[in-house]
């Protein structure tokens, strides 16, 4: 059964067609990944399906009666000043309405004296009980507690006001709410960004067994391999469909690209031969003074004009020039913790931790949400004080840091102004370097505050390249960057000669980059 049908959708933002005759068909029970570079229109497709974005032309058809749930990348405050538990329980409104009716009937039956009226109440109660059972009303508490536990929504967090949550916490809570509600069509925009590895495992299992239809925008390649059955690549505003997971897409895409390249190459050879024939026939016509040669040349010329010339196919991806240079290495001991402890009032994050990181190691720091990963990084950077113990940095250490939430001192600066600050480049040199990081033409005049998450990571990487650093500290570096950029970053980090400490939940990225993994668990480091 067709759940969603998009036909020849056009969506324009200013001068750019984000979707250009975009068409796709989604069937009941399919789990589909929408992939593509940042700005290719993935989030727009989800918003169009959820009727949160208008289209310029085309048609959108959703199966009648199909409920839709959308997880957005960014959630704003809500009007009602409700706490997290009340917000989550909104998922059960329909079930709770039936429950209230049952309670009302129970009260009426307890005092009713008239046998005929009581009989009617009993019949109504039986029907409502059947409906309540069909709606899984008796399993609400169990379901609620399971979801909250696995997404680390603690009792304390449930009592917080929704508006007091951070952006990442709001995403987690909204994801939990959608999964509690179980809409027939589930639209997920970057659902894994704020989930730790334990939660990711649980989430994968839920998606694999989900009874509805799921469309996912994600850059988490491991998750896509486990969770989806079809992959749609958004490219030049159109849909390229691959009937398999992300690994299947990679293999098929390479085959398709090679086939297109061969077709393009053969057509170019044919065109060259036709041009040579035209040239030769005209030469013969001039030498022989024979009109027949000119007619043949004209005939080939007309065939050439009518030929639909294939677009040039490149086997090289658009690359960002991520190349960490390092002229001065640090000493052998880069970082040491000696009996390190950190507490907030009565809450102990970790205590008596001992750790040594040596030159050239690429260390990934993992742990559940709230275990203290970002706090540990802030202690290393000197932004927070430890409660006990010592942190020792080695000799000649030069740290480069990319935080999880990137904030610039002056968000009114343009990309070009930001790059100029602290550098001696000419405008031509600056624009050439910016182009290597994907900032081309008018995008160099974009305000820093208006950049996407991926663009912010790119511009910070670009600044770090100029600083000759030998100890990289990265807090969730892959959040908000597309798969192509992740792959480039992986290669750059693998080749980097210095030391790296990074926090990540991207298992594919971890396996590619890390040669050592440390985990905060039970208030210590393993």
- The CATH number for 2-67+183-244, chosen from 3.40.50.10860, 3.40.1000.10, 2.60.130.10, 3.40.50.300, is 3.40.50.300
Long-range pairs, 109-118, Cβ under 8 A, ≥24: none
Report pLDDT for 324: 64
Report pLDDT for 326: 67
Query: For the whole model, what pTM was predicted?
Result: 0.76
Question: Is the Cα torsion angle 273, 279, 280, 281 positive or negative in sign?
Answer: positive
Cβ atoms of 480 and 452 closer than 8 Å: yes
Report pLDDT for 304: 87
| The pair of three-digit structure tokens given for residue 321, joined into one six-digit string | 């020039």
Superfamily of domain 333-525, CATH level 4 = P-loop containing nucleotide triphosphate hydrolases (3.40.50.300)
Is residue 441 exposed (0-12), middle (13-18) or buried (19+ Cβ within 10 Å)? exposed
Report pLDDT for 188: 94
**Nearest-5° Cα angle at 140, 139 to 145:** 105
User: DSSP for 404-425?
Assistant: SS---S-TTSBHHHHHHTT---
3-state secondary structure of 447: strand
Sheet holding 516-521, edge to edge: 399-402, 471-475, 499-503, 362-366, 516-521, 524-525
| The pair of three-digit structure tokens given for residue 84, joined into one six-digit string | 């997290």
Reported as a single tens digit per residue, the pLDDT across 140-193 is 888 899 999 988 899 989 999 988 887 778 888 999 999 999 999 999 998 988
Reported as a single tens digit per residue, the pLDDT across 482-517 is 787 788 788 888 888 889 999 998 899 999 999 999
CA-CA distance, 59 to 12, in Å (whole number)?
15
Q: What Cα–Cα distance (Å) separates residue 89 from each residue in 86, 96, 97, 173, 184?
A: 5, 9, 12, 11, 19
Report pLDDT for 145: 92
Report pLDDT for 203: 92
Phi and psi torsions of 448, nearest 5°: -55, -40
Cβ atoms of 516 and 361 closer than 8 Å: yes
Low-confidence spans in the chain with pLDDT less than 70:
15, 315-326, 422, 453
| The pair of three-digit structure tokens given for residue 299, joined into one six-digit string | 């005939």
Instruction: Please report where in the chains the tokens 């894994």 appear, as a residue.
Output: 192
């Amino acid at each position: 059964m067709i759940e969603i049908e998009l036909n020849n959708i056009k969506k324009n933002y200013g001068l750019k067609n984000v979707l250009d005759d975009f068409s796709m068909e989604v069937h009941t029970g399919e789990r589909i990944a929408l992939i593509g570079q940042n700005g290719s229109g993935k989030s727009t497709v989800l918003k169009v399906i959820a009727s949160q974005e208008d289209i310029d032309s085309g048609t959108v058809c959703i199966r009648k009666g199909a409920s839709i749930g959308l997880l957005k990348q960014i959630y704003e405050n809500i009007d009602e000043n409700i706490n997290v538990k009340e917000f989550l329980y909104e998922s059960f409104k329909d079930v709770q309405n039936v429950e209230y009716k049952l309670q009302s009937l129970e009260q009426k039956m307890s005092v009713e004296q008239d046998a005929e009226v009581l009989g009617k109440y009993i019949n109504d109660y039986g029907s409502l009980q059947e409906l309540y059972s069909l709606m899984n009303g008796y399993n609400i508490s169990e379901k609620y507690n399971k979801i909250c536990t696995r997404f680390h929504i603690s009792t304390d967090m449930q009592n917080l006001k929704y508006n007091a949550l951070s952006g990442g916490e709001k995403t987690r809570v909204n994801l939990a709410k959608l999964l509690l509600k179980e809409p027939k069509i589930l639209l997920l925009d970057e659902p894994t960004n704020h989930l730790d590895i334990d939660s990711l495992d649980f989430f994968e299992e839920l998606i694999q067994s989900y009874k509805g239809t799921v469309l996912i925008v994600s850059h988490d390649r491991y998750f896509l391999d486990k969770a989806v059955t079809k992959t749609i690549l958004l490219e030049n505003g159109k849909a390229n469909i691959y009937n398999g997971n992300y690994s299947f897409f990679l293999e098929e895409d390479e085959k398709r690209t090679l086939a297109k390249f061969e077709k393009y190459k053969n057509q170019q050879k044919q065109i060259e031969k036709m041009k040579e024939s035209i040239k030769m026939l005209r030469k013969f016509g001039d030498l022989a003074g024979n009109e027949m040669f000119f007619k043949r040349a004209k005939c080939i010329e007309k065939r050439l004009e009518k030929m639909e010339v294939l677009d040039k196919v490149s086997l090289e991806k658009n690359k960002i020039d991520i190349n960490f240079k390092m002229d001065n290495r640090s000493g052998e001991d880069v970082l040491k913790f000696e009996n390190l402890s950190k507490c907030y009032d009565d809450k102990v994050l970790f205590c008596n931790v001992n750790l040594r990181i040596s030159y050239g190691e690429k260390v990934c720091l993992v742990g559940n949400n709230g275990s203290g990963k970002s706090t540990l990084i802030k202690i290393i950077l000197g932004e927070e004080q430890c409660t006990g113990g010592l942190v020792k940095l080695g000799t000649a250490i030069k740290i480069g840091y990319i935080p999880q939430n990137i904030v610039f001192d002056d968000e009114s600066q343009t990309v070009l102004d930001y790059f100029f600050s602290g550098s001696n480049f000419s405008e031509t040199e600056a624009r050439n370097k910016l182009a290597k990081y994907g900032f081309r033409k008018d995008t160099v005049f974009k305000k820093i505050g208006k950049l996407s998450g991926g663009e912010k990571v790119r511009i910070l990487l670009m600044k770090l390249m100029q600083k000759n650093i030998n100890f990289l500290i990265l807090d969730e570096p892959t959040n908000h960057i597309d798969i192509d950029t992740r792959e480039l970053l992986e290669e750059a980090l693998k080749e980097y000669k210095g030391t790296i400490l990074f926090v990540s939940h991207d298992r594919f990225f971890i396996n590619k980059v890390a040669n050592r993994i440390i985990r905060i668990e039970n208030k210590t480091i393993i």
